[in-house]
Structure 1
Amino acid sequence: MSGSHRLTLLRHGETASSGLLGQHDAPLSARGRQQMQQRWRELDAVDPVRAIATSDLARCRDFATGMATPMACHIDMAFRELACGALDGRNPAALGAADARAWQQWQTDPANTLPGGEDWAAFTARIDAGLRRWLAGDGAGGHHVLVTHGGVIKALLLHWLGLPPARHGQFWPGHAASISVWWDPDWPPVLLDLRLEAP
């Protein structure tokens, strides 16, 4: 069927900054770049990559644009991590009592929006809309790779499986984790490969 192909969600590698990154724009560490290179070689060997999209944040964008030649790289804010509001870029261990309580409640169920943060339903909707927009307008066949964030991957998996946000803890994509599905715009995605551990 037209529009059907392999789609891989690829999480960024280790970053130079730690903590609750959210939309804080931290670059990859040297180890993170190595993790991404290794995972990319594995993915490309299974099915050569024909199209790339990425979050506009540096930890995704810098690697994706470097791998895109001669392909075009679709850069889209829709694929950004969840906006964590007042907690963006902070170390969870250094949070005050109120923020620490909000973070714990969010971890239990992301439907509990973080202070000044993005609503989980809105987060999922913007990712899903961005993904469908990219895949519908791309026109290329073959293996498509979206370089993005752990929260984005969780949100898509929960959405595809019809699970509530509180089940997000069952998915823990490590650095450079990848999830490949068979994408058909008219049917739910079919899982092809799952590599949640860092290379």
Structure 2
Amino acid sequence: MSAFHLHLMRHGAPQTPGRLLGHTDAPSTREGLAACVQQVSDLPFAAVVASDLTRCAQAAEAIATPRGLTLARDPRWRELDFGAWDGLPTAEVDSAALAAFWNDPDANPPPGGERWSALTARIEAALCDMDRDTLVVTHGGAIRAALACLFGFGQQQVWAFDLPYACVMSLRIWPGPMRAAQIVGLWS
């Protein structure tokens, strides 16, 4: 199978910034949606996939429709489930528990939330279904999980990537049993 491009876009700025939004279905601002559309205006792709959460799906729909592409909503591309912390401002979360989570999100998941390994398993399954030039509108955690799956980056390494709202990371993927990937660019 030949190589393809995978473009991973983080959704636009949410209407409720500064919160652990995870599975909370918070929409983006109008400016955030416009930034997403503008960011990919010259980018070629044959398919558009998005997390099923509004902040991703709205942007993906605004990108797909004018191009005559059908949007595929895929819940596997959702953000990590922050459980009891979901939707809370970070200032309202116990700082020691939050620090332990950021240090090792698999060993210290949010109460009632998802482990890092569960997120990477979801993303790995979604990546295995990709075989053509695709734009995925998703979340910062899901993009980091894709980097962990594709490049073998550890938890600390993936947090080193700055992924602002509406940024796009473009990858070239060689699928198959010996899958390989290359970072082509990061635009913010």
Q: TM-score, normalised by structure 2?
A: 0.90
Partner SS, residue 46 of structure 2? strand
Task: Tell me the distance in 2 between the aligned counterparts of 1:67 and 1:160.
Answer: 25
* 1:63 Cα offset (Å): 1.4
Task: Tell me the distance in 2 between the aligned counterparts of 1:164 and 1:191.
Answer: 16
1:80 corresponds in structure 2 to 78
Q: Please tell me whether the aligned partners of residues 82 and 123 of structure 1 are also in contact (alpha carbons under 8 angstroms).
A: yes
What is the Cα-based RMSD across aligned positions, in Å?
A: 1.5
5+ residue gaps in structure 2?
none
Q: After TM superposition, what 4+ stretches of structure 1 lie above 6 angstroms from structure 2?
A: none
2:164 to 171, 174, 190: 174
Q: Please tell me whether the aligned partners of residues 13 and 29 of structure 2 are also in contact (alpha carbons under 8 angstroms).
A: yes
| Larger relative helix fraction | 1
Task: Tell me the distance in 1 between the aligned counterparts of 2:137 and 2:89.
Answer: 24
> Does residue 124 of the first structure (1) align with residue 123 of the second (2)?
no
Q: 5 Å matches for 1:127-142? A: 127-133=123-129, 135-136=130-131, 141=132
Q: Structure 1 vs Structure 2: percent identity of aligned residues?
A: 36
Q: Please tell me whether the aligned partners of residues 16 and 28 of structure 1 are also in contact (alpha carbons under 8 angstroms).
A: yes
What letter is aligned with 1:103? L
Task: Tell me the distance in 2 between the aligned counterparts of 1:161 and 1:10.
Answer: 18
Q: Please tell me whether the aligned partners of residues 181 and 190 of structure 1 are also in contact (alpha carbons under 8 angstroms).
A: yes
What letter is aligned with 1:168? V
1:107 corresponds in structure 2 to 102
* 1:93 Cα offset (Å): 1.0
> Does residue 12 of the first structure (1) align with residue 11 of the second (2)?
yes
Q: TM-score, normalised by structure 1?
A: 0.85
1:190 corresponds in structure 2 to 182
What letter is aligned with 2:104? D
5+ residue gaps in structure 1?
none
Task: Tell me the distance in 2 between the aligned counterparts of 1:172 and 1:34.
Answer: 20
